[in-house]
Structure formats: C-alpha cells, structure tokens
Structure 1
Amino acid sequence: MTFFPDAAVPPGRLAVGVVLPSPAVRREQRLPLAEAARHAEQSGLDLVAYRDAPAGEPSPDAAVALAAVAAATERITVVSGAYAPALRPPAQAAQQIASLQYVADGRLVLGVGTDGGPARWAAAGVPYEERVRRTDATLRLLPRLLAGDGGPQPYEQGGPAAGSASSVPMPPVWISGNSRGTVRRAARLGDGWFPALAPPAEVAAGTVHLAELAAVFGRPAPCVVIGATGALGTAADLPTRAELAAGLATAHGAAPERYAQVPVTGGVREAAERLHSYCGAGVSRVVMTFAGGDWRHQVELLAEVRGLVG
C-alpha cells in the first residue's frame, strides 16, 4: 500500500476542503455521495469530509460512507468528521480503520469526536459519562493494533478483544471540538485540533494553549483545522452572513455577536479574505460546510477561493 500521510501544508498555504452534502441535499440535488466526492477532487480541493447525519435522518454508517468516498477518489484526503472509536470494541475499530486506510491508499484522516448525545452511547452499551475516558484509552491502543501487535487486549465493553492482524500506518488523528478539554486531548493524543464554527480570535487563543500543552507533553504542536460554514457567491437567494450568524446563535443558544465573524459569504475574493484571516490564528486547513446554493457550484467557487488563499 502506498501511504500518503496528511501532507504538511507549506507555510502561508491554507489547505481547503469541503464536508460532503447531507442526505437531504443529495436527494434534492440528485447528487450521489461518490459523485460529490469526485467533483470536489476534480475541482482541485484538498480534502473531503464525511460526518454522521443529524439525528433522525437516515444515513450510511460512517465507515461504509468513507469507504465509498475513498474508492471513488484517487488524490484527495478523506476525513472522518467525528468518528467515535469508543462506540466499538478496539479490535473492531482497528479493523474498520485499517480497512479504510487500504481502500483510501493511506489518504485517511481520523477525525475523532465524543458527541452524539447520551442515547447514542447508551445504545452501544457505553455510559455517557465514560465516553471521554474510553475514547482516550482507545486512541492509545489503536496504534498498536494497527501495527499488528497481536495478543488479547483487555477491554471493558465485552471482555478481551483480539489484536488486529492488520499492519498499516496509524492515520493522523484530528480531535474534534471547541472545549478546553478537547484542546488538551488534542495536545496529548492528536495530530490536529479540529474546532468548528469558532471566530478567528477564539481559534488563535486555543492555538496558543494547544502549543503550550503540547510542549508540556513533549509532543510537536498539532495542526489546527477549522470547520467553517457559509454560502459562496452573490445570488439573491443565498443566505447573508447576518442570517447565518443569527441561525447559529439560535441553534447554540448564544448571542448573534458570538458568530458574527464565522460565516464565509460573498464573492470569491471576499470569501478568500475571510478564510485567510484564520491563517493568522494558526490554522493550516479549513473544511467548509455549505449553507445554501447548488452544492456542485459551491464547490467550484470554493476551488477558486482556494486558488486565492493558496
């Protein structure tokens, strides 16, 4: 297997990617998941990410969807939005991750999260209050399993788990979340910190804290990846920045001012300036979610933005 790690981004160059469309958008725009991934790759983007659908919306399992995306593409980095390895016995998680590495030819990045609500964790037999500790324990164990370090491994979710027979490189791990606890986990166990919907000043403060903690742990400072949202272009039917900020504030129970600088909107140059403001906050990668418009056209506009910030 050829291995393409999450390549180092040259100084000053922002890698730009996109979250693949939701099931609702795929239905409305008649856009199969694999076709969307190929379109992002052919447009010249650096990353595609897949995340679980909102509660109650039918969607493929993350591992199945990522395998389909990886098989449909050749170059682009494939990112799991918020994979939860602690929902599975470690050997099963290792088997899924190893299989994805093979299918993606080493282009996988493992975005790891601990969200989803108590019901999701209870359904897997994992106490909600144990999710963070078990996630950390699984992350420590995964490199050994992926390296083919056999032998039974103790695990509290079902007895011993056989060691993985795989021998593949551990993919880069991006720890998803905005909290200080997430920053600490990224500094201790991750290769990247993956906050979402945070203004540049907040990301900059988190980046400084991340570097300080990584130094304490004797590790290199992880990269910083921002999850952004917006609608590109100047069409009259697209939501404005103020409308998107108000929607985010309502969804998260915060004042609109909290999200005033978050949405990426407007023409290509305006959007490029907005994304470039994150470079000063230490961000080297941006993954966009589109909040309106034709998804294919939004990708094409984002590729133009990438050309300006690259």
Structure 2
Amino acid sequence: MFVPALTLDPQAAPRETAEAARLAEEFGFASLWTSGHLTGRCPMLDPLTVLATAAATTSRLLLGTATLFPALERLPGLAQRLATVQYLSGGRLLLGCDAGDSAWARWRGGSGDGAAGAAWRAAGVPYEERDARLDMALTDLPALLRGEPGLLDPARPDVALSVPADVPPLFVGGENEAALDRAVRFGDHWFPALASPDWLAGAVAGLRERAAAAGRAVPGVAVAQPFALGGDGAFPGTPADAAALARVYGFPEERVTGAVVRGGPRQAAERLAEFAAAGADHIVLSTYDSDWRKQYELLAEAVALLD
C-alpha cells in the first residue's frame, strides 16, 4: 500500500502519514510504500523521512521506497539515511530503486527533461550517466551498509559507516533491457509499475529466460497498481483518461486500462488473484481517492477474501 504522503493533497495534515501507517498495519497489509522526487508533477515529501515517521507508529509493517534514484545521490549520505531507517524500524526497510527512466519516473515527474530534468541538473549529474551510476551504487551499497571499511574515504581505509545495518531487500524498477538485466544481477525483486495481468505474464516469462541465460536465480516480482473500489471505481474514468495516462507512461492503452483494480471487494480480490497467477508475489496498491481511509477499508475486505 502507498502512503498518501503529499501526492493527493498538498494541504493534508502532517498527521495523515502516521495515521495511514497505523491503519495499514491494523488492516493487515504487509507493507507501506512511498515515492520520492525532488521535482516533478506531484508534491512529495522525502521518502526516507516519511518511512521513519511510519516506523515510529508501527511494529510489523514493512516499509518500502517506490522508487529511489540512487544515481542522483551521494552514496555515503544515502547509505547513512538507509541505515537510519533500518535502525529505527528494526530492519523493516525494502529498497525500491531505478535509474530514473522508468514508468515510476515518467508518472511522478517525467524523465531527463522538463521539471524532472531540473533534479538532475541540480544534483550536477548528467542524465545520460544514470545507468552506469546506478549499477555502481548497487555494487557498492551493500558493503557500505554492512559497515565494511575502505569505501567512504580511499585515503582512510579504516573508516566505515558509523552505524551499519542489514542490507534491505532490493526491488529494481524499470521495464527496459537495462532494468531487466539489473534486476537479474542485483535484485531480490523486479518491480514494474502499471502492469496488466497479460502483460505481466509475458514479462515474467522473459525475466525467467534472462535469469536462466545468466545462470542466476529468478528474482521475485512486485507490481504497483492503482485501485479504486466502491461506487463505479472509475479510474481511469473515460477512454480519454486512459489515453492520457498511456501517453504519460509511453504504454499501450490496453495496458493502462488493464492495470486498474476496481469494483467491489470481491471483484478486487479476483483481480488481485489474476496478478498473482501472472507471477506477482508482491502487489503494491495506490489510491487516487481523497477518501483514502475508505479505500484502505475496502481493500482490506478484498484481501480477506483471498485468505
């Protein structure tokens, strides 16, 4: 489940973040996720600060980023922030990340141009270096987090991260060839967004072939889907809405319309089962309804029907 954060209402009370985390845990959801962009079309809080807030009000809920862009970060500072959330949460962090050119990036703020491109320019990072920088980050980050010496300062091989932490499970976002290779090489999970069950089944088959060719274990599969339960469940509400979303993502319209979990709890449960049958072992849902509490409640009813 995605926490509302500030993606729905910039004037939302700050307490809603903590309340959403508590309700997600009370309803029995497995995890809570948040996105993060420095610039873009949605106002957003810092994702790791949001998860630290959620950690303080929960005890069981796993806490995930969907997704971070390590290519934009100074790796030692990012490692410290990740280790802090791991420490405060008792090891409940799930690290979702991608190179910044995925469906996540396009939906939350675009890619290397426009408003989102300002983030790359502000960080002083050429957008064209995103894949190489992410691969380097994923290579070095586990050792940094474990507190292995020699990575913070080459001139001081004895210096290490002052508060080491367990390396969180890695969820690799993105749908292109580089992202799929990265998921096989580094990931515990591959993490695409806005998938229809048919598209997902084909993509998972390709992921398995890729892993077999590389002689590696097949990563798990997590998907992020919008949901709108109760009433007419109208998201996207019209063909024009679906077409607009398809343009944002660069996807076929049928993939967009097939991604939405809608209807009542029973219909939603059937839809979730379709994603599971297509290969998803994690389904992360986000609501566009301002009454997110009601959506959480209806979703909990749907999940109960799966047990």
Confirm or deny a common fold (TM above 0.5).
yes
Structure 2 gap ranges (5+): 106-111
In the superposition, relative to structure 1, how do residues 29 and 297 fare at CA in structure 2: closer, same or farther (>3 Å)?
farther
Q: Which shifted more, 203-212 or 188-197? A: 203-212
Q: Which amino acid in the other structure matches residue 162 of structure 2?
A: A
Q: How many residues align?
A: 287
Q: Which amino acid in the other structure matches residue 135 of structure 1?
A: L
Measure how far apart 1:135 and its partner are.
Answer: 0.7
Cα distance in 1 for residues equivalent to 2:144 and 2:48? 18
CA contact (8 A) 1:194 1:224 kept: yes
* 1:67 aligned to which of 41, 52, 55: 52
SS at match of 1:82: coil
Structure 1 gap ranges (5+): 1-17
Cα distance in 2 for residues equivalent to 1:242 and 1:58? 23
> Residue 131 of structure 1 corresponds to which residue in structure 2?
130
Q: Does 1:112 align with 2:109?
A: no
TM norm structure 2: 0.85
What CA RMSD, in Å, does the superposition of the two structures yield over aligned residues? 2.4
* 2:281 aligned to which of 243, 261, 284: 284
Cα distance in 2 for residues equivalent to 1:26 and 1:39? 19
Measure how far apart 1:110 and its partner are.
Answer: 0.2
Q: Which amino acid in the other structure matches residue 2 of structure 2?
A: V
Q: Which amino acid in the other structure matches residue 122 of structure 2?
A: A
Q: Does 1:99 align with 2:99?
A: no
Measure how far apart 1:309 and its partner are.
Answer: 2.3
Q: Which shifted more, 63-72 or 129-138? A: 63-72
* 2:3 aligned to which of 11, 17, 20: 20
CA contact (8 A) 1:183 1:209 kept: no
SS at match of 2:133: helix
Measure how far apart 1:82 and its partner are.
Answer: 0.8
> Residue 9 of structure 1 corresponds to which residue in structure 2?
none
TM norm structure 1: 0.84
Measure how far apart 1:181 and its partner are.
Answer: 2.1
Cα distance in 2 for residues equivalent to 1:48 and 1:254? 26
CA contact (8 A) 1:197 1:227 kept: yes
> Residue 222 of structure 1 corresponds to which residue in structure 2?
219
Q: Which amino acid in the other structure matches residue 28 of structure 2?
A: G
CA contact (8 A) 1:241 1:265 kept: no
Q: Does 1:239 align with 2:234?
A: yes
SS at match of 2:246: helix
Measure how far apart 1:137 and its partner are.
Answer: 0.7
SS at match of 2:280: coil
Aligned identity (percent) is: 38
Cα distance in 2 for residues equivalent to 1:258 and 1:272? 19
CA contact (8 A) 1:91 1:163 kept: no
In the superposition, relative to structure 1, how do residues 253 and 83 fare at CA in structure 2: closer, same or farther (>3 Å)?
closer
CA contact (8 A) 1:271 1:305 kept: yes
Cα distance in 1 for residues equivalent to 2:97 and 2:203? 18
Structural mapping, 1:1-310, within 5 Å: 18-23=1-6, 25-26=8-9, 30=13, 32-52=16-36, 55=40, 57-115=42-100, 116=105, 117=112, 118-153=117-152, 163-234=160-231, 238-240=233-235, 243=238, 245-252=242-249, 254-292=251-289, 294-310=291-307
In the superposition, relative to structure 1, how do residues 258 and 85 fare at CA in structure 2: closer, same or farther (>3 Å)?
closer
Cα distance in 2 for residues equivalent to 1:162 and 1:58? 37
CA contact (8 A) 2:10 2:43 kept: no
Q: Which shifted more, 82-91 or 135-144? A: 82-91
In the superposition, relative to structure 1, how do residues 291 and 254 fare at CA in structure 2: closer, same or farther (>3 Å)?
same
CA contact (8 A) 1:91 1:162 kept: no
Cα distance in 2 for residues equivalent to 1:249 and 1:192? 25
SS at match of 2:66: strand
Q: Which amino acid in the other structure matches residue 65 of structure 1?
A: V
Q: Which amino acid in the other structure matches residue 145 of structure 2?
A: L
In the superposition, relative to structure 1, how do residues 290 and 120 fare at CA in structure 2: closer, same or farther (>3 Å)?
same
